[in-house]
Amino acid sequence: MTAVIPDHRPGSGTASGPAAVAGAVDGARRAQPDWEALGFSGRKKALDAWRVLILRRTEELVALIREETGKTADDARLEVVLVADHLRWAAAHAGRVLGRRRVSSGLLMFNQSATVEYRPLGVVGVIGPWNYPAFIPIGPVAAALAAGNTVVLKPSELTPRVGAWLAATLAEAAPGPEVLRIVTGDGDTGAALCRAAVDKVSFTGSSATGRRVMAACAENLTPVVIEGGGKDAMIVAADADLEAAADAAVWAAMSNAGQTCVGLERVYVVDGVADRFLDLVTERAAALRTGERPDADLGRIVLPRQVEVIRSHVQDAVARGARVLLGGPRSISAPYVAPVVLAEVPEDSTALTEETFGPVLVVNRVSGVDEAVARTNASAYGLGASVYTRDRAQGRRIAARLRTGMVSVNAVIAFAGIPALPFGGTGDSGFGRVHGPDGLREFSRSQAVTTQRFRPLMQPNSFGRHPDTMRTLVRMVRALHGRRALSGGPSPRRGLPHGERTT
């Protein structure tokens, strides 16, 4: 049986255009209390059923993703795998991360019991991009639903049917009031969702649109998560496994035809190994096939105007003296762009300062790791990065110096495939997190509750307190906290909820 993909039929949970936003938010608002009342286990059951249905219909979703984005079948299958894993994680862990837990009430308030829990916000608006039309929205959608919110999703105007398919399969797996509603349309519909009566907006897209989203949300003081663009770099140290690094670099730069927010756009390779690394990268990238053919490795560039951005970056680099190792302006034949590898590109050329979002890899040589770190951090973006070195301890030290939200050592983009890890960036790449415990908390509000267990001997919070009460309290606090601790304080291993461990 195949899912019925509603094409904006009334009552289908899918509506179209800015005028439809208020109705969708209203419907989601009405559905929310019952969804919240299911509790973590009831919602888990529904989300698990949804995941199973999605996996049963993998090839149907793959076909739809391909139809709307032109990506290769394997790139689309990777999306479905990631969708299932992230959905499973959010459903399985929401109760543990967000559920009520006791915290120490401390010596001063030892007559109180103290608890914290994370309650749903209400209705969450999700605005998604076209490059991963299933996987990207599922991060905030899964977390928001698992936390007890209902969701209105505005997919990209280029991929509305993938969004509608997700809502239709959830409605089928978990019949009842629709907790995931779709509004299709262009940027105006997204802007209307930002100004609607939603309790939070999760936006994924370009940093420029992110600024507009934030401005629109500011009108109602609606909080936002901004997952913006990136200009991810790889650092290749002198001791790196060059074969592995080259293989990973080509995949991270060229898969999905380079249209990945955490795709690789820059490599800083230490001088002594740069020539060998460049040979390996060029050889691998040259073997990739681009176009309509069934065995193609690279599909089309989805957004027609992006082809001109890619062309202008390549032309700018070449005009300013870049060495062309593979392809060049001639690689571009809309809607396809074949792999391009450039070296010795000036750091202030657009190919290194702006997001290219195509299969173009810049490889620049550096004198050492320090220079690589400085150049990586010089970007306005700060989404992901990768480091290749055989010395894993050195890899972690380099990672700690990078101003990015995510780093993989001896791998690329591994952080996106681990649902327990937070995903997000800094600088022009935005703020807030999806995925992992942070992602679940992003769509919740903490609520602190104290319950008095017995009347205290001293009553500082009363006008009827004894005249000596405050002086006695100050003496107590001085005795308890007035000296510097001899040890480093409580062990960081203690008090970490949810199985998070220090290393």
- For residues 262 and 7, give the distance between their C-alpha atoms in angstroms, rounded to a whole number: 32
Residue nearest to ligand NDP (CB): 190
* Shortest spacing between CB 184 and ligand NDP, in angstroms: 8
Residues making up the chain, counted from first to last:
503
Letter for the amino acid at 122? Answer: G
Stretch that binds ligand NDP, among 12-20, 91-99, 221-229, 482-490 (CB under 6 A): 221-229
Query: 19 or 470: whose CB is closer to ligand NDP?
Result: 19
Q: Which residues neighbour 110 within 8 Å (Cβ) at sequence distance 6 or greater?
A: none
Nearest distance in Å: CB 47, ligand NDP: 21
Q: Which amino acid is at 289?
A: R
Distance, in Å, from the CA atom of 21 to the CA atom of 196, rounded to the nearest integer, reads 7
Residue nearer to ligand NDP on the CB measure, 404 or 429: 429
Given 261, 265, 354, 355, the catalytic residue: 261
From candidates 85, 157, 344, 371, binder to ligand NDP by CB under 6 A: 157
According to the binding rule CB under 6 A, does residue 191 interact with ligand NDP?
Answer: yes
One residue of 186, 243, 271, 370 binding ligand NDP per CB under 6 A: 186
Q: How many CB atoms neighbour CB 65 within 10 A?
A: 25
Neighbours of 461 (CB within 10 A): 7
Between 13 and 129, name the residue whose CB sits nearer to ligand NDP.
129
Q: What mask, x for binding ligand NDP by CB under 6 A, covers residues 252 to 281?
A: ---------x--------------------
CA distance 61 to 84: 12
298 with 359: CB under 8 angstroms? Answer: yes
Span interacting with ligand NDP, options 21-29, 171-179, 210-218, 265-273, rule CB under 6 A: 210-218
Query: Which of 13, 27, 229, 327 lies at the binding interface for ligand NDP (CB under 6 A)?
Result: 229
For residues 433 and 386, the answer to whether their CB atoms sit within 8 Å is: no
Tokens representing 57? 């219909």
Q: CB of residue 409 vs ligand NDP: minimum separation in angstroms?
A: 21
Tell me the closest approach of the beta carbon of residue 484 to ligand NDP, in angstroms: 42
The answer to whether 399 and 411 are in contact (CB under 8 A) is no
Dist CA 395 CA 417 (whole Å): 20
What is the maximal distance between C-alpha atoms in the chain?
Answer: 87
User: Binders of ligand NDP among 373-402, rule CB under 6 A?
Assistant: 383
Tell me if residue 217 is catalytic: no
Q: Are 258 and 288 in contact (CB under 8 A)?
A: no
Determine whether 117 is an active site residue.
Answer: no
Catalytic residue annotation: 227, 261
> Which residues bind to ligand NDP, rule: CB under 6 A?
127-131, 136, 154, 156-158, 186-187, 190-191, 194, 204-206, 209, 212-213, 216, 227-230, 261, 303, 355, 357, 383, 425, 429
